[in-house]
Structure 1
Amino acid sequence: MWSVLARGRRRSMVWPCWPAILTGLVVLAATAFAPASAAPGDLADPIATVATGSLRGLRADGIEKYLGVPFAASTAGDGRFAPPRPASSWDGVRPATAHGPQCPQSPPLPSVPALQPSSEDCLTIDMYVPEHAAGATLPVMVWLFGGAFLLGSNAQYDSPARLVREGQVVVAIPNYRVGPFGFLALPELAGEDGGATGTYGTLDQQAALRWIRDNAAAFGGDPDNVTLFGESAGGMSVCTQLASPTARGLYSKAIIESGSCARSPLAPPTEDAAYRTSADYAAGLGCGDPDTRLRCLRALPVDRLLDSPTTMLNTMDVSWRPVSDGVVVTSGPEAALADGAARGIPLIVGSNAGEGATFVALLDYAHGIVPDATGYELWVHDLFHDDSARVLAGYPLSGFPSAVAAITQVITDGFFACPASFITQAARRGGSRVWQYQFDDAPLSGNPLLPGAFHGAEVPYVFSGLMGLAIPLPPSGDQLSQRIQQSWARFAHTGDPETPALAPWPSTSDTTLELANDRTVLGDSFLAQHRCDLWSDIAHIG
């Protein structure tokens, strides 16, 4: 997400995950959530056997859960800033009834405590399985969480119960390393790992996909029918995997929710740019000597490695994201998809109608700032540099009721809506079928701080619970949630998201399916609505 500038003060460009937004809702909107209910415990605990040993799961919400399952070894010690290594085997039956720790990260906001314990032994996966799925061959849906490549964990997405139960799909949610732990890039690291550097979080995701390939059958899953899906930086992660040659064959379909994969500040930087960022980070921690800095960084405690503004969600520019290392990431997603990287892979690509509201709420309102006219112009100049005059001409303050409304629209159009269209067009040129949607429901109807379909608003329509809390949608919103879940599940089963409730939805034309609780319509005004002619001539947004 990108901060809104007010009083000429530039703050951060950061991307939140849904739990950070949820925390903001609790603080800013006083929204209460009831605990998710567990199913009666009158059945024996489920057992699954994977390559490294047997697991005892639990039954809850009408599904089976296997939580905190190691898919790779600890990343501590010499595993820090290194590709993931295989997990060790265990004897007996391992309890899989609690989430593992999150990977090391700073809190989502300075005033918000960590959502759960952290550890470098964090590469675990949570499996959500329909009851009695053993022996079946069900689609597997792998969720990659968002969070600016700075924060997030699989525990925050518990649970996709209705999607699993009614859609008859297995949902797998892995952890992956974030911040410098996942994306530090230095020449000496490239020398250690055959050129791979700054892509450890991406490699973690790929290790999880290989684990799923090898173990899906133990949960009734089909290793040859895997759908990637994710939101925000998780959507960008999906795009990165589509573009990565080392991920080929590990998935067959993909869903990108508000990923902003094209021309974005989250687009992979060059090696040289990433080397400069990482060298500055190391020097700031007292590890500036190129001859010893890697040893120095690996010797520092975790808390010291997090003692940098680059790891803070509310004060940083986007410093950490997958790097174009020429091995794991060889080009940006837009170019890769246009060149056929996802040829033959069905895709769903979408954005929300009011993405920008989240960023104003969390990075301005939450800090006691209300953007004004002067702040708006300074924000545009600071963010768009040589393109600022064009942006101001396309979004004159006189055309909006307030500076907040103007900023919200610029973020919505420039960073989400049009990039979604650019990725759709690139993938179609490269030989993919793509279904594009726009989510336009308001889960907090009437709330002035987070109005409309803000960034992340669609996530509780896909998941039944977040952070172990039930999501109380109104009846019309719950009906839309069912329709989306049915569509996503059908896509996982067949590669086609059309359902009786969501049809027609063509995959080959410049039309966008509008998803709202009072209408589901197919429109052709998306490009004009979001001024994509203006954004199409800007090579890098932000």
Structure 2
Amino acid sequence: MRVRTATPRVGVTRWLIAMVCLVAAVAAPRAAAQPAGAAPVVTVTGGSIRGLHSDGIVEYLGVPFAAPAMGENRFAPPLPPAPWTGVRSAVTHGPQCPQSSPVPGLALQESSEDCLSIDIYVPPNSADVALPVMVWFYGGAFVLGSNAQYDSPSRLVRDGKVIVAVPNYRVGPFGFLALPELADSAGGITGTYGLLDQQAALRWIQDNARAFGGDPGNVTIFGESAGGMSVCSQIASPLTRGLFSRAIIESGSCARSPLAPPSKERAYQQSADYAAGLGCGEVPTRLQCLRALPIDRLLSSPTTQLNSMAVTWSPVQDGVVVTSSPEQALASGAARDMPLIIGSNADEGATFIALLDYARATIPTAADYLGWARELFGDNSTQVLARYPVTGFATPAAAKERVITDGFFACPAQFTAEAARRGGAQVWQYRFNDAPLGRNPLLPGAFHGAEVPYVFSGLMGVPIPLPPAADRLSRGIQQSWAQFAHTGDPVTTDFTPWPAAPGITLELGGDRITTADSFARDHHCDLWSGISHIG
């Protein structure tokens, strides 16, 4: 049965839209803060830029790190930006990369294929000492997202004495279209353009960190959901050696998971089907045909929408940019001697129930849950339903939420940590347990994306007010992440003890912070170790 839900209050709607990694910036970019004092000017690749003072830090927004990816540069590796003359104003975000709106009817941030820009946030007096640089990759299921969502790192930057940089990267087919003719024309590269955008940004950081008072030899990459998976892919890529030395993976897996990217052959087929659906099915001319289509036509396919848990667009193991699966790379030593923080949230699945059920005015019934599990997991559904029987939960939605939490996020995080340790990495693992919306039935618990405003103190330029206990936890996370960037060790006075030991998680709650050794048991990871694909 389909049940019409009540319209959620505005505050909850904003959280549902703004907090989840799967949602792009659906509000107009904030107006630039008014500069205080002399506007700073620095010289970077391409020319001089003028930033602005805001909230006790200095911001440089919308700085090009690569050329527009349009025309013959569409579905191609990024090229260097064109130089400019004079002093370029860097006080507003650049356009987001082309993507479909996650919420029909709401205005999107301006979109353009001239989107490869980076935002840099710098603490005061940074020129006196070389500071660590933290580079954030946004989430969004590889089909949504922009750096304008994450423009509230002031406290992390100011108190942590770190530079935070947030680049845009191409998403959807623009970032991950994979076809044999693309590989033939680019030395084997295909389906990894979004990753190459991230790498271009990391190289830009190497070339320009000192202009902002940063240390190019001390770069930490971090990200959430698809951003965390991007971190995994960059660790696995042989092209990133020397571009970063530490990594934080929030709710994004490097390991076997039902969300694992498709094989190259399957990616080729998906991309061919996508092209055919747009009228570009003739192999000799389809690339030319796709490059000639307008952006809105390329976004008209259902594959560019967030419609299910299935992965449509994601990085491909093309043999050049990514030469092995991230899990294999970790186990083989890709992060040997590299400090890592790996974590997940206690109730990840709540976000997907909200987006894929409640937002469509449906509440899962027992029959819905059984059908969903059988369709999604195929031959593995009997095992899944035996471990997660609908009768074992208060509601079918609760059963579905737990399956998503355990199978798609918690256990893949556990497997990621295990692989990294086998390869010689030092790993600190956490589980985020705080419930920023309390018992709200629409988005309860520590849902997917709930920890992001604890790191950034807000989203889309909107401060997210947290109750006192949650704000203390936010300060603790920011202090730990910043110390990790400085030293490679996240253990602080508030986050202690936190051993980098197998099976131990730091439990991050607003009411208390403690350690536990029950993570794998709590999330049934013995079951999920044998389930690595959908269908």
Normalising by structure 2, what TM-score? Answer: 0.94
2:43 alignment partner, one of 49, 54, 78: 49
Is the Cα contact below 8 Å between 1:243 and 1:332 reproduced in 2? Answer: yes
User: What is the 5 A alignment of 1:371-450?
Assistant: 371-450=364-443
User: What is the 5 A alignment of 1:221-232?
Assistant: 221-232=214-225
Match of 1:168 in 2: 161
1:180, CA displacement in angstroms?
0.3
530-539 or 187-196, larger mean C-alpha shift = 530-539
CA-to-aligned-CA distance 1:482-506 (integer Å, 9 cap, x gap): 0000000000000000000001111
Match of 1:14 in 2: none
Q: How far, CA to CA, are the matches of 2:71 and 2:60 in structure 1?
A: 28
Match of 1:73 in 2: 67
Match of 2:80 in 1: 86
1:275 alignment partner, one of 258, 268, 278: 268
Is the Cα contact below 8 Å between 2:32 and 2:92 reproduced in 1? Answer: no
Q: How far, CA to CA, are the matches of 1:371 and 1:398 in structure 2?
A: 14
- Counterpart amino acid of 1:101? P
Task: From the superposition, tell whether residues 161 and 94 of structure 1 become closer, same or farther in structure 2 (CA, over 3 Å).
Answer: same
Match of 1:262 in 2: 255
The DSSP-based 3-state class of the residue aligned with 1:292 is helix
- Counterpart amino acid of 2:58? E
Q: How far, CA to CA, are the matches of 2:201 and 2:83 in structure 1?
A: 16
Structure 2 residue 331 is the aligned partner of structure 1 residue 358: no
Is the Cα contact below 8 Å between 1:310 and 1:317 reproduced in 2? Answer: no
Q: How far, CA to CA, are the matches of 2:33 and 2:19 in structure 1?
A: 28
Match of 1:119 in 2: 112
Match of 1:136 in 2: 129
Is the Cα contact below 8 Å between 1:75 and 1:120 reproduced in 2? Answer: yes
Q: How far, CA to CA, are the matches of 1:305 and 1:319 in structure 2?
A: 14
Q: Identity, % of aligned pairs? A: 68
Q: How far, CA to CA, are the matches of 2:427 and 2:13 in structure 1?
A: 28
Task: From the superposition, tell whether residues 414 and 312 of structure 1 become closer, same or farther in structure 2 (CA, over 3 Å).
Answer: same
1:69, CA displacement in angstroms?
0.1
Task: From the superposition, tell whether residues 411 and 317 of structure 1 become closer, same or farther in structure 2 (CA, over 3 Å).
Answer: closer
User: What is the 5 A alignment of 1:450-465?
Assistant: 450-465=443-458
Task: From the superposition, tell whether residues 266 and 176 of structure 1 become closer, same or farther in structure 2 (CA, over 3 Å).
Answer: farther
Q: How far, CA to CA, are the matches of 2:139 and 2:451 in structure 1?
A: 13
CA-to-aligned-CA distance 1:111-149 (integer Å, 9 cap, x gap): 4332x0000000000000001212421000000000010
Structure 2 residue 489 is the aligned partner of structure 1 residue 499: no
CA-to-aligned-CA distance 1:439-493 (integer Å, 9 cap, x gap): 0001101211111100000000000221111110111110000000000000000
Task: From the superposition, tell whether residues 60 and 42 of structure 1 become closer, same or farther in structure 2 (CA, over 3 Å).
Answer: closer
Match of 2:23 in 1: none
Q: How far, CA to CA, are the matches of 1:534 and 1:43 in structure 2?
A: 59
Task: From the superposition, tell whether residues 358 and 265 of structure 1 become closer, same or farther in structure 2 (CA, over 3 Å).
Answer: same
Match of 1:346 in 2: 339
1:91, CA displacement in angstroms?
1.2
Is the Cα contact below 8 Å between 1:62 and 1:131 reproduced in 2? Answer: yes
CA-to-aligned-CA distance 1:197-248 (integer Å, 9 cap, x gap): 0000000000000000000000011001000000010000000101111112
- Counterpart amino acid of 1:393? A
1:100 alignment partner, one of 94, 102, 105: 94
Is the Cα contact below 8 Å between 1:373 and 1:397 reproduced in 2? Answer: yes
1:46, CA displacement in angstroms?
1.2
Task: From the superposition, tell whether residues 470 and 391 of structure 1 become closer, same or farther in structure 2 (CA, over 3 Å).
Answer: same
The DSSP-based 3-state class of the residue aligned with 1:228 is strand
Is the Cα contact below 8 Å between 2:19 and 2:450 reproduced in 1? Answer: no
Is the Cα contact below 8 Å between 2:67 and 2:116 reproduced in 1? Answer: yes
Task: From the superposition, tell whether residues 247 and 268 of structure 1 become closer, same or farther in structure 2 (CA, over 3 Å).
Answer: farther
Q: How far, CA to CA, are the matches of 1:52 and 1:534 in structure 2?
A: 52
CA-to-aligned-CA distance 1:292-316 (integer Å, 9 cap, x gap): 0011111111111111000012368
Match of 2:307 in 1: 314
1:23 alignment partner, one of 13, 17, 28: 17
Q: How far, CA to CA, are the matches of 2:31 and 2:301 in structure 1?
A: 40
Q: How far, CA to CA, are the matches of 2:380 and 2:165 in structure 1?
A: 41
Is the Cα contact below 8 Å between 1:167 and 1:489 reproduced in 2? Answer: yes
Q: How far, CA to CA, are the matches of 1:216 and 1:351 in structure 2?
A: 30
2:242 alignment partner, one of 239, 249, 254: 249
2:533 alignment partner, one of 525, 529, 540: 540
Normalising by structure 1, what TM-score? Answer: 0.93
- Counterpart amino acid of 1:278? S
Is the Cα contact below 8 Å between 2:411 and 2:520 reproduced in 1? Answer: yes
Match of 1:326 in 2: 319
Count residues in correspondence. Answer: 519
CA-to-aligned-CA distance 1:280-337 (integer Å, 9 cap, x gap): 0110111100000011111111111111000012368421100111110112111111
Match of 1:30 in 2: none
Is the Cα contact below 8 Å between 1:185 and 1:275 reproduced in 2? Answer: yes
1:271, CA displacement in angstroms?
1.6
1:338, CA displacement in angstroms?
0.6
1:435, CA displacement in angstroms?
0.3
Q: How far, CA to CA, are the matches of 2:141 and 2:307 in structure 1?
A: 11
Q: How far, CA to CA, are the matches of 1:195 and 1:20 in structure 2?
A: 42
Match of 1:531 in 2: 524
Match of 1:520 in 2: 513
- Counterpart amino acid of 1:206? Q
The DSSP-based 3-state class of the residue aligned with 1:218 is helix
Alignment RMSD: 2.0
Is the Cα contact below 8 Å between 2:75 and 2:174 reproduced in 1? Answer: yes
Structure 2 residue 297 is the aligned partner of structure 1 residue 304: yes
Structure 2 residue 465 is the aligned partner of structure 1 residue 482: no
Match of 1:29 in 2: none
